């Protein structure tokens, strides 16, 4: 049990220490021997001790249900035992682990009161600590502070009181009460602190003084500690706090020097992980060097730094990864745009790249050749392996654009807007955000990010105290972007009425078209439905209107070709709509049937042409002798132009073919009595 207690780092440590080493085996031995006492010596005076040790062993093994049963068994078996008070404490501790907080708190209060009466200082201390830890876990720090002060009033152990006073100072730090924290850390030395408590209290005192603005006093304390060899094992902590304090004094270069020393000299320590995080903060906020900041945050996130540093470091690392990705994407897209606008630039960059590549390879080959000549002098006559190799060129060659100018510009404007938002909301560099917003407004006036950038600049002006300029931008948005969501953000800034963005002017037109349909004015209603699609193609009613018009043409006017044109428009313009899914099978069948009929007519025409050609060839080869030829020559010639049946059939099929070609031509719906009108709507 003593070995387990030594693993607890702080008096108010929320987590139970993990058992390691030979402790698990020792616990199993205790369980085995205690069980034998209960089995073979149930009437001896060691039963209560055996039950208590069994309960504790199960508790440390985190088998809390079994532990509770053994503690309760002791109460039933020997209620007059001298171990009952300690047993009650362990019952309360076990109830706390089983989250039976109400019972646990009641038990702890009872144990404290009885322990104070009986002078059981260790049990009283453990009972107070158990409840204080519970309050810390619940983050009710004010209650924890009150209970800690209550414990100090009843405790007479100076060494314990020194540690409790140190923990009290840390609780005050959690609620940002630096003055009381300073007072608590100073009072530690009124008692008898152990060396570790003395060390930690002094460092925490310097930290609290720094947070309270007394930087010079804090630095003086740290310098005195650095000059005492007894603190040499904790120089990493002292140097870390010194570096942070120097930064508070605006001695930034000295601060960076100290923090880098901690990072490199004590590379595997917790202090090194914290130093990396602090360096990331300095490079981010003071130097505005986001690439260096990113490197330190990444290192801190994977270090041994405590969660209060490693977690935000990981979040910062992800943030700067986004920043770097956006920067690279913008750079690459701008280069692609310059290649599209100035094709000669791509050729020049390609020539320069391959020239540099060849030059680098020549230098590497010369280096390799020199290395080989140096290795030829081996006394055994063997050429030694050459360790120097030609380095692979990692720089990417220029790439010819594979997309058009408009697509490249879309990539640029989107990434610039995202980067501006990153600067404005997360990196807290509003001037850089303003630069990108302004660039979007000036160079991409027709993009969907134009109005959003306008609003962001208005917010930027408000943030720097130029409210009049900001409001003028909001008024411009309110007057000119009434169909975009951003208009209501501007309305909120100006305290003006919100705009109903769900209003669709096509609603009333659709109702009118339905009324005309109910009056059986089919042609007029079709024209109305088509007008909705023509005038408001982005309306949610547009595909529905096309469907209604197609249905009327198909079922009421029996104009299947024109209905197919309406249905095909749905399929092309609104392929994801429910109406496209509804008409697609019918439209596919219709098109297949049209293709089949068209092919059949073309095949028939081809056969007739071939037959006619064959007959013409036959007539030219066979010339019959006419006995009356001389008589016919003397008679006047009369030309007969009567059409054969085959010629009539050819003309009929040609007309049908022409009708098939006209099937994709909409009809003039103002004349329903002429379903095959030549007019094109």
Residues 79 and 225 in one domain: no
pLDDT tens-digit series, residues 192-216 = 999 999 999 999 999 999 999 999 9
> What is the reported pLDDT for 359?
62
Measured CA to CA, the distance from residue 437 to residue 416 in angstroms comes to: 8
Measured CA to CA, the distance from residue 332 to residue 508 in angstroms comes to: 49
> What is the reported pLDDT for 660?
43
Query: What CATH number is associated with residue 92?
Result: 1.25.40.10
Residues 323 and 446 in one domain: no
pLDDT tens-digit series, residues 366-378 = 554 545 444 444 4
> What is the reported pLDDT for 504?
79
Domain count, the chain: 4
Residues 459 and 569 in one domain: no
Contacts 24+ apart (CB under 8 A), 550-556: 550/583, 552/517, 552/522, 552/525, 552/526, 553/526, 556/522
Q: Which band of pLDDT confidence, cut at 50, 70 and 90, is reported for residue 190?
A: very high
Residues 115 and 227 in one domain: no
> What is the reported pLDDT for 671?
38
Average pLDDT over residues 536-556: 91
Residues 459 and 538 in one domain: no
pLDDT tens-digit series, residues 72-102 = 999 988 888 899 999 999 999 999 999 999 9
> What is the reported pLDDT for 363?
62
Q: What is the pTM for the complete model shown?
A: 0.66
Residues 490 and 511 in one domain: no
CA R_g for the chain: 45
Average pLDDT over residues 560-567: 88
DSSP string, 134-183: HHHHTT-HHHHHHHHHHHHHH---HHHHHHHHHHHHHHHHHTT-HHHHHH
Domain stop point among 156, 173, 204: 156
Q: Does residue 631 register a pLDDT over 50?
A: no
Q: Residue 431 is part of which domain span?
A: 405-494
Looking at per-residue pLDDT, the higher value among 116 and 674 belongs to: 116
Per cent of the chain over pLDDT 90 is 57
Query: What CATH number is associated with residue 538?
Result: 1.25.40
Residue 205 placed within a domain: no
Q: Does residue 116 register a pLDDT over 80?
A: yes
pLDDT tens-digit series, residues 270-320 = 999 999 999 999 999 999 999 999 999 999 999 999 999 999 999 999 999
- CB burial class (10 A; 0-12, 13-18, 19+) of residue 241? buried
Q: Does residue 668 register a pLDDT over 80?
A: no
> What is the reported pLDDT for 288?
92
Residues 267 and 339 in one domain: yes
Residues 517 and 489 in one domain: no
Q: Does residue 255 register a pLDDT over 60?
A: yes
Residue 317 placed within a domain: yes
Per cent of the chain over pLDDT 70 is 83
Residues 489 and 570 in one domain: no
Q: Which band of pLDDT confidence, cut at 50, 70 and 90, is reported for residue 47?
A: confident
Residues 446 and 574 in one domain: no
Buried b (16+ CB within 10 A) or exposed e, 407-435: ebbbbbbbbbbbbbbbbbeebebbebbbe
Q: Does residue 108 register a pLDDT over 50?
A: yes
């Amino acid at each position: 049990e003593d070995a387990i207690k030594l693993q607890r780092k702080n008096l108010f440590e929320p987590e139970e220490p993990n058992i390691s080493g030979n402790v698990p085996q020792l616990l199993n031995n205790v369980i085995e021997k205690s069980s034998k006492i209960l089995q073979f010596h149930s009437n001896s005076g060691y039963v209560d001790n055996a039950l208590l040790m069994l309960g504790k062993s199960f508790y440390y093994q985190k088998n809390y249900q079994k532990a509770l049963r053994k503690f309760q068994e002791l109460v039933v078996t020997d209620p007059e035992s001298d171990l009952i008070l300690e047993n009650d404490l362990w019952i309360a501790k076990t109830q706390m682990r089983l989250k039976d907080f109400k019972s646990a708190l009641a038990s702890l209060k009872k144990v404290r009161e009885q322990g104070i009466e009986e002078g059981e200082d260790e049990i009283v201390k453990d009972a107070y600590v158990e409840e204080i830890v519970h309050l810390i876990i619940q983050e009710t720090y004010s209650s924890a502070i009150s209970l800690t002060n209550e414990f100090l009033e009843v405790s007479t152990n100076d060494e314990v009181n020194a540690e409790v006073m140190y923990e009290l100072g840390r609780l005050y730090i959690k609620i940002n009460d630096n003055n009381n924290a300073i007072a608590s850390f100073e009072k530690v030395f009124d008692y008898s602190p152990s060396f570790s408590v003395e060390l930690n209290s002094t460092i925490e005192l310097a930290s609290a003084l720094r947070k309270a603005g007394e930087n010079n006093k804090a630095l003086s304390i740290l310098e005195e500690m650095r000059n005492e060899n007894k603190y040499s094992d904790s120089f990493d902590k002292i140097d870390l706090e010194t570096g942070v304090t120097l930064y508070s004094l605006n001695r930034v270069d000295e601060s960076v020097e100290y923090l880098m020393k901690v990072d490199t000299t004590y590379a595997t320590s917790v202090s090194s992980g914290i130093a990396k995080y602090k360096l990331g903060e300095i490079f981010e906020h003071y130097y505005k060097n986001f690439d260096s900041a990113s490197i330190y945050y990444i290192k801190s996130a994977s270090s041994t730094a405590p969660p209060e540093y490693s977690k935000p470091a990981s979040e910062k690392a992800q943030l700067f990864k986004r920043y770097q990705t956006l920067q690279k994407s913008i750079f690459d897209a701008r280069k692609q745009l310059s290649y599209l606008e100035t094709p000669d630039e791509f050729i020049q960059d390609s020539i320069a790249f391959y020239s540099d590549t060849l030059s680098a390879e020549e230098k590497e080959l010369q280096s390799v050749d020199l290395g080989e000549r140096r290795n030829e002098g081996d006394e055994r006559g063997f050429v030694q392996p050459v360790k120097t190799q030609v380095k692979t060129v990692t720089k990417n060659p220029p790439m010819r654009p594979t997309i058009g100018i408009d697509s490249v510009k879309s990539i640029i404007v989107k990434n610039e807007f995202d980067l501006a938002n990153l600067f404005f909301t997360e990196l807290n560099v509003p001037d850089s955000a303003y630069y990108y917003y302004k660039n979007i407004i000036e160079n991409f006036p027709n993009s969907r990010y134009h109005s959003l950038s306008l609003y962001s600049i208005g917010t930027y002006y408000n943030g720097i105290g130029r409210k009049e300029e900001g409001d003028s931008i909001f008024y411009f948005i309110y007057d000119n972007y009434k169909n975009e969501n951003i208009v209501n953000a501007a309305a909120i800034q100006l305290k003006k009425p919100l705009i109903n963005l769900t209003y669709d002017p096509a609603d009333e037109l659709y109702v009118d078209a339905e009324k005309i349909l109910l009056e059986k004015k089919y042609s007029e209603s079709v024209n109305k439905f088509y007008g909705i699609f023509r005038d408001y193609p982005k309306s949610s009613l547009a595909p529905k209107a096309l469907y209604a018009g197609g249905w009327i043409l198909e079922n009421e006017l029996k104009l299947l070709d024109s209905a197919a044109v309406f249905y095909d428009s749905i399929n092309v313009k609104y392929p994801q709509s429910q109406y496209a899914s509804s008409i697609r099978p019918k439209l596919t069948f219709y098109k297949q049937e049209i293709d089949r009929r068209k092919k059949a007519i073309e095949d028939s025409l081809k056969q007739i042409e071939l037959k006619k050609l064959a007959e013409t060839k036959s007539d030219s080869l066979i010339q019959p002798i006419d006995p009356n030829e001389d008589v016919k020559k003397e008679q006047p010639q009369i030309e007969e132009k009567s059409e054969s049946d085959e010629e009539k059939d050819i003309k009929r099929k040609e007309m049908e073919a022409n009708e098939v070609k006209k099937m994709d031509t909409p009809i003039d719906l103002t004349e329903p009595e002429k379903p095959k009108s030549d007019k094109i709507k």
